[in-house]
A = this chain, B = another copy of it.
Amino acid sequence: METPDETITPAPVPAATGITTGIAAQDWDAAAADPRYRAAVVDLLGALAYGELAAFERLAEDAKLAPTLEDKAELAAMAAAEFHHFERLRDRLTEIGETANLAMEPFGAALDEFHRLTAPSDWLEGLVKAYVGDSIASDFYREVAARLDSDTRTLVLAVLDDTGHAGFAIGKVRAAIAAEPRVGGRLALWARRLMGEALSQAQRVVADRDALSTMLVGGVADGFDLAEVGRMFSRITEAHTKRMAALGLAA
């Protein structure tokens, strides 16, 4: 645990997560005075930006599998939304004097590998992936936002606010399972694989990126320890399980 910087005022405990951190009470200029916090946020924005750009590409690719023009347009709309998230994150990196491409570069391999290992083989797998990916990203943004300085938090929440385009997937997947119950077993396995690959690549990123993982395990943002990271991953996994059950899939 680090000694809090003298500019830190204690932040209120966010009721939803039980986290206490002085960082949340600071703006970017104050928080970024700590070079470790700055490096961690650059990593975070770089990872999110690359994630959005990669999501754009994959959703645009999966749109080709759509059985109708209307379905294709729905997935294309999600892809365009991801691209605009990418733009906001990239512009923020530029604004704080960073080169977006350099900030993104360290995360390319893990995210490309995730997508390579989880290329959907049909439209339903694509829909489940879009829905699962969108939901997990949204949960992650929400968890992380509470740990950030006020300026970065505003950005992350703004990007979050514009997610949730994947709701249209729910009805289509349920209808497909109702029409052909065996489809449910295959998609349940698929969703488990998506979550497994996501966690495995996330672990790889955390192992590789000191600044980011130091922030996540409490070295920078005080009051946030390894047990809390574990709880964060538990909450995200539990939410995933509930969503899969709502889809009619055993997670």
A interface secondary structure, majority: helix
Answer yes or no: A37 CB below 8 A from chain B CBs.
Answer: no
Residue of B nearest to A87 (CB): B77
Does A60 reach chain B (CB closer than 8 Å)? Answer: yes
Cβ of A180 < 8 Å from any Cβ of B? no
- State whether the Cβ of A121 lies closer than 8 Å to any Cβ in chain B: no
Could you give, for residues 128-147 of chain A, a 1 whenever the CB lies within 8 Å of some chain B CB and a 0 otherwise? Answer: 00000000000000000000
| CB-CB nearest in chain B for A54 | B72
In the complex, how many angstroms separate the beta carbon of A128 from the nearest chain B beta carbon? 20
Do A84 and B80 touch (CB < 8 A)?
yes
Stretch among A63-71, A183-191, A206-214 lining the B interface: A63-71
- In the complex, the count of this chain's copies comes to 2
In the bound assembly, the distance between CA atoms of A87 and B79 in angstroms comes to: 13
- In the complex, are the beta carbons of A64 and B73 less than 8 A apart? no
Contacts known (A80-B83, A84-B80); A64 close to B69, Cβ less than 8 A: no
- Determine if A153 is an interface residue (Cβ-Cβ < 8 Å): no
Interface size class for chain A? 20 to 34
Which B residues are CB-close (under 8 A) to A105?
A: 69
For A56, list chain B residues within 8 Å (CB).
Answer: 60, 76, 79-80
Which of B60, B69, B83, B87 has a CB less than 8 Å from the CB of A101?
B69
A81 to B, closest residue via Cβ: B80
* Complex Cα spacing A63 to B101, Å: 15
- For A80, the chain B residues whose CB sits under 8 A away are 56, 79-80, 83-84
Cα separation A108 to B69 with both chains bound (whole Å): 10
Taking CB atoms, residues of chain B closer than 8 Å to A83 are: 76-77, 79-80
CB distance from A183 to the nearest CB of B (A): 25
> Which one of B50, B73, B84, B104 contacts A53 once the chains associate, using CB atoms below 8 Å?
B73
Report yes or no: A86 in contact with B76, Cβ–Cβ below 8 A: yes
Say if the beta carbon of A57 comes within 8 Å of chain B: yes
Q: Decide yes or no whether A90 CB sits under 8 A from chain B.
A: yes
* B61 & A76 in contact (Cβ 8 Å cutoff): no
8 nearest A-B residue pairs (beta carbon): A60-B60, A80-B83, A80-B80, A69-B101, A76-B83, A56-B76, A70-B101, A69-B104
**Roughly how many angstroms separate A105 CA and B70 CA in the complex, as a whole number?**
11
